[in-house]
Amino acid sequence: MLPFYALERYEGNEALFNLVMMSIVSTYAGEPLHVHAEGLRGTGKTTIMRSARGILPFIERIKGCIYNCDPYDPHCPNHRYLSQEEIEAIGTESIPMPFLEISHSAKVGTVAGSIDLARLTDPNHPEAHMLPGLIPQAHRGILFIDEINRLADTSPEITDILLDVMGNKPGHLQIEEAGLPAVEITVNVSVWAASNPDEDPGPLEEIRRQLSDRFDMVCYMGRPHSVDILAHMLAENSYQKKSRFYRQRKVVPIDESKNDVYRQQIVRWAEQYAKTEMPEYLRNFIARLYIKHNLESIRAIEALQQGAILRSLIKNRDKVQISDVTETIPLVLRHRVDGDTLVRIINDLDTRGGKEGILSFKSRKEKKKEEEPEYFPHDARSLKDLSRSELISTEKNLTPTDY
């Protein structure tokens, strides 16, 4: 598989690159962001998601803890009652943020947990113990599910588990095994899913609407219309390009320094995430959107707030802007409202002209002038009003002392 940095970005896949990055930042900060990529095969959605594994930052856990206990917030049955001194005695270790994958043929035991047969049949110390499954082992990381629509169709039990895990942030998981007390555990995991709604059994929202609503954002990688994008996809997916990459890799190993650049950026953005507040006027705007368009899902507007903040971070801005909200709207609503409603909401934003819409809300409320956001300065002059000397820096005014 190509490393994340070597994947090419073009118009049709940029949104998914952004979502993947936003979810990693949020997960690292401790708040999951569940992302679903829908689209035709060949659009590279699973490639982008799987290769993101290579740029995941490192997390600190209690040494050897398979549940990835945070040394400052232990949650697993083995460590949650230990004192800070006892944890220090065990020690800590740094591991890559987990990235685990559930296949659509997975069994409940593998996903949630099962009885540890090795320990049960140990001739010296036969003990009944729980072996955590993929979900508890993905704590503080990513859980990837390709073809989630097929999983939802064929495995209602695993779907129910996912509904619990994705129901709150952090989520819950109950591990049950006959003859053993049930283990209740916290899991903070971002679920990433991919599916092709045009193939059997159809779109996820038609199979399990509840599960579809659990995804904060859905990115639809549509049928490409541009010749450039199609030609590009053909080149990317060609046997020649792939084999050339594998031949080269034997000589040139994966450049970890390029992955490190991503890692450092993720850690920095996650630190900022904890400090970035949604401006009040944008929060009110989201609340109005909910009431005006009669949206049913509170999750949708929570995701809109979370997504807009994360988007402002990965765009390297220190403040959330109206565009961060409006650009996020289709991603949080497309799978939750019908097409007509989405078009109405977007048209509404367009006719109001985005900024004006917000500002007119404010003027109606007669807010004080100093509370107005400073993103739209009123003292700007248009280009045609500027003189040539203000527009063009000549050599003379750059180095006046030389003349």
- Minimum distance between the CB of residue 168 and Zn ion, rounded to whole angstroms? 21
- Minimum distance between the CB of residue 54 and Zn ion, rounded to whole angstroms? 26
Q: Compare residues 137 and 159 and give the one whose CB is closer to Zn ion.
A: 137
What are 221's strand-pairing partners?
39
Q: To 10 degrees, the CA torsion angle through 169, 156, 331, 141? A: 40
- Minimum distance between the CB of residue 95 and Zn ion, rounded to whole angstroms? 13
**What token pair was written down for 14?**
């940029």
Distance CA 1, CA 13 (A): 17
Write the CB contacts of 52 (distance below 8 Å, at least 6 apart in sequence). 4, 20, 24, 99, 142
What DSSP element (H or E) covers 113? strand 113-115
Q: Compare residues 44 and 113 and give the one whose CB is closer to Zn ion.
A: 113
- Minimum distance between the CB of residue 29 and Zn ion, rounded to whole angstroms? 21
Long-range contacts of 341-345 (CB under 8 A, 24+ apart): 341/293, 344/293, 345/289, 345/293
Q: Compare residues 97 and 329 and give the one whose CB is closer to Zn ion.
A: 97
Interface mask (CB under 5 A) for Zn ion, residues 36-65, using x and -? -----------------------------x
Q: Mind giving me the DSSP string for 35-79?
A: EEEEE-TTS-HHHHHHHGGGGPPEEEEETT-TT--BTTB--STTT
Number of H helices, E strands in the chain: 20, 11
Q: Compare residues 185 and 278 and give the one whose CB is closer to Zn ion.
A: 185
Interface mask (CB under 5 A) for Zn ion, residues 167-206, using x and -? ----------------------------------------
Q: Compare residues 53 and 79 and give the one whose CB is closer to Zn ion.
A: 79
Q: Compare residues 67 and 144 and give the one whose CB is closer to Zn ion.
A: 67
Distance CA 218, CA 203 (A): 12
Q: Could you tell me where the beta strands, DSSP code E, fall in 244-400?
A: none
Q: Compare residues 76 and 152 and give the one whose CB is closer to Zn ion.
A: 76
- Minimum distance between the CB of residue 82 and Zn ion, rounded to whole angstroms? 9
- Minimum distance between the CB of residue 64 and Zn ion, rounded to whole angstroms? 9
Q: Compare residues 77 and 354 and give the one whose CB is closer to Zn ion.
A: 77
**What token pair was written down for 300?**
């949708």
Interface mask (CB under 5 A) for Zn ion, residues 75-114, using x and -? -x--x-----------------------------------
**What token pair was written down for 217?**
């954002």
Piece in contact with Zn ion (CB under 5 A), picked from 68-76, 164-172, 238-246, 372-380: 68-76
**What token pair was written down for 268?**
């920095």
Compute how many other C-beta atoms are within 10 angstroms of the C-beta atom of residue 306. 22
- Minimum distance between the CB of residue 270 and Zn ion, rounded to whole angstroms? 22
Q: Compare residues 74 and 307 and give the one whose CB is closer to Zn ion.
A: 74
Write the CB contacts of 208 (distance below 8 Å, at least 6 apart in sequence). 152, 159
- Minimum distance between the CB of residue 85 and Zn ion, rounded to whole angstroms? 16
User: 24, 35, 52, 67: which one contacts Zn ion (CB under 5 A)?
Assistant: 67
Mutual angle of helices 355-365 and 280-292, in 10-degree steps: 100
69 is a contact residue toward Zn ion (CB under 5 A): yes
- Minimum distance between the CB of residue 81 and Zn ion, rounded to whole angstroms? 11
Q: Compare residues 73 and 350 and give the one whose CB is closer to Zn ion.
A: 73
- Minimum distance between the CB of residue 70 and Zn ion, rounded to whole angstroms? 9
Number of residues forming the site for Zn ion (CB under 5 A): 5
Piece in contact with Zn ion (CB under 5 A), picked from 74-82, 173-181, 326-334, 370-378: 74-82
Q: To 10 degrees, the CA torsion angle through 220, 222, 228, 230? A: 110
Write the CB contacts of 96 (distance below 8 Å, at least 6 apart in sequence). 56, 57, 58, 59
Residues near Zn ion (CB under 5 A) are 65, 67, 69, 76, 79
